Chain A
Amino acid sequence: MSGDKGGGSAHDAAMRFQGSSQVVRPPCLWTTSVIAPLIANSLALASLLIMLSSGLALIYGLRDVINFGHGALYMLGAYLGYSIALVGGFWVALFFAPLLLALLGVVFEYGVLRPLRGRSHIEVALVTLGLGIILGQALIFIYGGEARGVDAPAALAGSVSLYNLSYPVYRIFLIAMGLGSCTALALWLRFSTSGLYVRAVSQDPSVARMMGVNSDRLSLLVTSLSAAFAGVAGVLAGPYLSVDPGMDVTMIVDCLIIVVIGGTGSIAGSIVAALLFGFVQVAGSVFLPDLAALAPYVLLFVVLLIAPRGIGRGRAPA
């Protein structure tokens, strides 16, 4: 069975989960046949969200700038993945698309972030929003307005059977990728010099600069990594969600909610937030399908009312 197709939003993905397990279940029975796919699907969705929102959170923590074009980068990664996969297959796409996006990240750093350094944060954010819109429109112009399906590679097609339940291999791969990138990120932040610098600058930018941290080089690294990860997420999303116009808007909104819930400058916070978000979205689509689209917004309100600064221990005030 090849990968899923259909609308590109997280909500649409969640809606399709209902077909993933072969056991027909009544909605309110808490059995393994309901819980297990629920958790697995939440993890799969969260994997994508973690890859995207940690990139967003890193740039925000480092430069206090929200890259509103992040969703468009993800969309570019998905469309590039689609095109490259047509000629070279999935794995080639998974290798080259992130590379191309990392290059775009470098262009973004030198062409946009550095020249606009003196401007207010709102202004830079709005410029990235404008650029994101332009990129999105360009992609629609080139590829047209219908959704494209991408097939999962042969190695990852099909389902695997566990305890009477059937689960698509591709999603397990997705969860593994998510886990892998999380671990890689955590290791980098914790044990490498640049990771330490990123944490320091995120916590207290002025002090870190005083200690001679080259925040320019750091920023270049973070921006291109962030773009590369958006590319990875875009390619991975192909067989799982599908590639369609409008995926940039839904994704940037979801990622922004996650970053805000996670707390400024807290990567751990955004990871927890992504997990929470994934779960709420999937659970919402299973138990309350009509209102599932509103779930992220309700989550945002609830979390911020309880913890106004977000989940993680972010930057100290002023």
Chain B
Amino acid sequence: MLEIANLCVSYGRVRALDGVDLTIRGAGALHGIIGPNGAGKSTLLDAVTGRRPPSGGAVRYRGQDITRKSVRWRRRHGMARSFQRTSIFTDLTVREQLTLVARHLRDDRLDDVIEVMNLGEWLGEKAGRIAYGVQRRVDVALALIGRPELLLMDEPGAGLSAHETLSLFQHLRDLVRERGMAAVVVEHDVDAVFACCDVVSVLDLGRHLATGSPAAIRADSRVIAAYLGSAA
């Protein structure tokens, strides 16, 4: 479904992504992306979702080259993302912002999203005043509206406890299976990723290191070396 070919992103002279090749296969699978600090995980997501223009390489979505397509185009064609630093509408109530987006994307099954993300009791609250954990759920909910086919998430567990993150991942896995959508999750919390993802990819220093099942990746010596090396 998503093909990343030789993707490069530079911040000035620093190469955050140095020729990454990665394929996200398909529907119904939760694909985790991990890697030590500075690996370029968030940058990869930004480049794939159109937030940051790549300096080289290509991104193909369902066979079509979307490298230069606008952020808006991607959303309207089934690619949605959530953010590491919670990005919601603080002046609107939860219901107002969900309805706003739902009407725009012509999604009439908003109640499903609300139920899945367990936002029922917060609908009337202004998003700027609710607890951080709930705000992160709103962030994800906004991405779920419109039944996207490919969901990309940037550290959904950021700022959440290990327990909350695991619970979130379990929800995600169920959602992905139910709806038959593809989801790519960049995450720092390795445990949650290993527990719930079907495929895991590892990035290190802007390069794609390995991809495989959680068990295989856990045992991969290169991955261990990368994590140990960065801890030094």
Give the interface of A toward B (CB within 8 A): 206, 313, 318
Q: How far is the CA of A206 from the CA of B12 in the complex (A)?
A: 21
Q: How far is the CA of A318 from the CA of B87 in the complex (A)?
A: 10
A-B contact pairs, 3 of them (CB 8 A): A206-B85, A313-B12, A318-B87
Q: Which residue of B lies closest to A318 (CB)?
A: B87
Tell me the minimal C-beta distance from A268 to chain B in angstroms: 13
Q: How far is the CA of A313 from the CA of B85 in the complex (A)?
A: 22
Bitwise, B59-94 to A at CB < 8 A (1) or not (0) is 000000000000000000000000001010000000
Contacts of A318 in B (CB 8 A): 87
Contacts of B85 in A (CB 8 A): 206
Tell me the minimal C-beta distance from B84 to chain A in angstroms: 11
Q: How far is the CA of A206 from the CA of B84 in the complex (A)?
A: 14
Give the interface of B toward A (CB within 8 A): 12, 85, 87
Q: How far is the CA of A206 from the CA of B86 in the complex (A)?
A: 13
Q: How far is the CA of A206 from the CA of B159 in the complex (A)?
A: 15
Q: How far is the CA of A313 from the CA of B13 in the complex (A)?
A: 13
Tell me the minimal C-beta distance from B43 to chain A in angstroms: 12
Tell me the minimal C-beta distance from A205 to chain B in angstroms: 12
Tell me the minimal C-beta distance from B68 to chain A in angstroms: 18
Contacts of B12 in A (CB 8 A): 313
Q: Which residue of B lies closest to A317 (CB)?
A: B51
Q: How far is the CA of A318 from the CA of B12 in the complex (A)?
A: 18
Tell me the minimal C-beta distance from B88 to chain A in angstroms: 13
Q: Which residue of B lies closest to A313 (CB)?
A: B12
For the complex of A and B, the 3 pairs showing the least CB-CB separation, nearest first, are: A313-B12, A318-B87, A206-B85
Q: How far is the CA of A313 from the CA of B12 in the complex (A)?
A: 10
Q: How far is the CA of A161 from the CA of B150 in the complex (A)?
A: 73
Q: How far is the CA of A206 from the CA of B87 in the complex (A)?
A: 14
Contacts of A206 in B (CB 8 A): 85
Q: Which residue of A lies closest to B11 (CB)?
A: A316
Tell me the minimal C-beta distance from B188 to chain A in angstroms: 16
Tell me the minimal C-beta distance from B38 to chain A in angstroms: 14
Contacts of B87 in A (CB 8 A): 318
Tell me the minimal C-beta distance from A215 to chain B in angstroms: 19
Q: Which residue of B lies closest to A206 (CB)?
A: B85
Tell me the minimal C-beta distance from A115 to chain B in angstroms: 22
Q: How far is the CA of A318 from the CA of B85 in the complex (A)?
A: 10
Contacts of A313 in B (CB 8 A): 12
Tell me the minimal C-beta distance from B153 to chain A in angstroms: 17
Tell me the minimal C-beta distance from B81 to chain A in angstroms: 14
Q: How far is the CA of A313 from the CA of B87 in the complex (A)?
A: 24
Q: Which residue of A lies closest to B87 (CB)?
A: A318
Q: Which residue of B lies closest to A316 (CB)?
A: B11
Tell me the minimal C-beta distance from B41 to chain A in angstroms: 17
Q: How far is the CA of A41 from the CA of B87 in the complex (A)?
A: 49
